[in-house]
Structure formats: C-alpha cells, structure tokens
C-alpha cells in the first residue's frame, strides 16, 4: 500500500516534469508574465490618467465610460481577431486587447473613487485653505486608492484570461502550451498548463486582494 502510493506520487511527479520540459513551460511562463506585466502597467497608467481626466471633465465622463463598456461587451476572441489587421499576429494584439479590457474597471473605479470621496473631507480641506490641486493630491487621490486597487484587481483577472487566449494568435505564453495540448489531445499537457495558469491567476488576485484590504484598513474604511 505504502509502496504503491509512493509509486503513484513519483509517477505524477515525473509526468509533471516531463510535460513541463517538453512544453518548455518555464519559457512560456516568462513570456506569459511579460505580456501580463506590460499590459497591466500600460492599463494602469492609461486607466488612472483617463479616470483623472474624466473627473476633471465630468460632462464627457458618461459617454466615455459607456464607450469603454461597449468595448467590454465584445467577446474576447472576436476582439483579438478584430485587432489582427491592425497589429498583426503575436504579442502586440494580445497586449492591446488586454489593455482595452482592463481600461473599464480601472478608469471607472478611479473616476468613481475620486468622485465619491466623502464630501466632508473635501469640505474641511477647502476650509483649511487647501487649493483645489492640493485637495486632489492630498485628499481625493489617497482616499480613492482602495477603490482604484479594486479596479486593478478586476483588470488582473481579465488580463490573465486574455493573455492566455493570446496563444491562439501566436503570442506565446501559457496559452500556446494549452492550445498545443488541445490540438494534440494531450490530457496531461492541458491539465498542467491549465492548472498552472489558473494558479497564477489566483495568486495575483490574492496578492492584489491583500493590498486592497491593507489600503482599506489604512484609510479607515472598514
């Protein structure tokens, strides 16, 4: 019994190593995380700036957010296909699609966070003699950080999904290994690549969740 158990264990482990090596999953993971990081950094920079911009121009906020909502409703595979004529195959359309999907949660949460800051803080800040710029920098932005990170967290999950789909259009990454497994019908490859991608998504979401909680606690919003 004990021996047999050990046998199963070592069998699984050796399978895992074999699948990992034949599909060069280390390389795939690096490709995957590179695309993922580029997409998240771009989406954060663009999304937060756009949120700030919309906050300063409330009149165009609604149409703009509706537009982003529209982008959000395009299913992911068609979106990738739509981007192919413009960006070709590979990494670029994958990153662009990830950024497009991530813009809505980040922009919307930044805009809403800035707008929904409890007015009593804005009022007292103004009464103390803070200029509008200082109110934005010292009060509104810090107080909306938990909300912004909340949006970023949603974007992380979206991006992980889109980057994986990038495998379909020769972007590399873990999606490529997954698709190879599907096409060759190798259950082990599908399982290992799928679970590993899922695990990565859970880890990033968990980390972002911890940051979000910390911020909420730090900013007294329980």
Asked if 126 touches other proteins (CB under 8 A), the answer is yes
Greatest Cα pair distance, the chain, in angstroms, is: 77
Q: Does 139 bind other proteins (CB under 8 A)?
A: yes
In eight-state DSSP terms, residue 57 is: -
Establish if 211 lies at the interface with other proteins (CB under 8 A).
no
Q: How many CA atoms lie within 13 A of 158 on its CB side?
A: 27
User: Applying CB under 8 A, does 221 fall inside the site for other proteins?
Assistant: yes
Q: How many CB atoms lie within 10 A of CB 47?
A: 27
In the complex, least distance from residue 131 CB atom to other proteins, rounded to whole angstroms: 5
CA angle 99, 111, 78 (to 5 degrees): 30
Provide the minimum distance between the beta carbon of 218 and other proteins in the complex, in angstroms, as a whole number. 7
Q: Which is nearer to other proteins, 80 or 148 (CB)?
A: 148
* Phi, psi torsion values for 220, nearest 5 degrees: 70, 15
Q: How far apart are the first and last CA of the chain?
A: 52
Which CB, 141 or 152, lies closer to other proteins? 141
| Of 24-32, 101-109, 136-144, 154-162: span binding other proteins (CB under 8 A) | 136-144
* Residue 218 near other proteins by CB under 8 A: yes
- Where on the chain is the footprint of other proteins (CB under 8 A)? 120-121, 123-131, 134, 138-139, 142-143, 218-221
């Amino acid at each position: 019994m004990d021996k047999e158990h050990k046998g199963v264990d070592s069998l699984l482990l050796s399978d895992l190593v074999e699948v990992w090596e034949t599909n060069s999953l280390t390389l795939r993971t690096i490709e995957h995380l590179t695309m993922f990081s580029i997409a998240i950094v771009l989406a954060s920079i663009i999304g937060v700036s756009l949120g700030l911009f919309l906050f300063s121009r409330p009149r165009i906020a609604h149409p703009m957010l509706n537009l982003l909502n529209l982008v959000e409703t395009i299913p992911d595979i068609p979106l990738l296909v739509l981007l192919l004529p413009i960006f070709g195959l590979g990494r670029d359309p994958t990153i662009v699609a990830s950024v497009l999907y991530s813009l809505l949660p980040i922009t919307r949460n930044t805009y809403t966070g800035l707008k929904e800051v409890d007015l009593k803080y804005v009022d007292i800040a103004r009464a103390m003699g803070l200029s509008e710029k200082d109110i934005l920098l010292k009060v509104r932005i810090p107080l909306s950080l938990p909300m912004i990170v909340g949006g970023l967290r949603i974007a992380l999950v979206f991006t992980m999904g889109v980057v994986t789909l990038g495998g379909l259009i020769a972007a590399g990454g873990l999606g490529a290994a997954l698709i190879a497994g599907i096409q060759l019908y190798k259950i082990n490859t599908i399982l290992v690549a799928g679970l590993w991608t899922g695990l990565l998504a859970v880890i990033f979401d968990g980390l972002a969740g911890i940051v979000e909680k910390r911020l909420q606690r730090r900013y007294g919003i329980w």
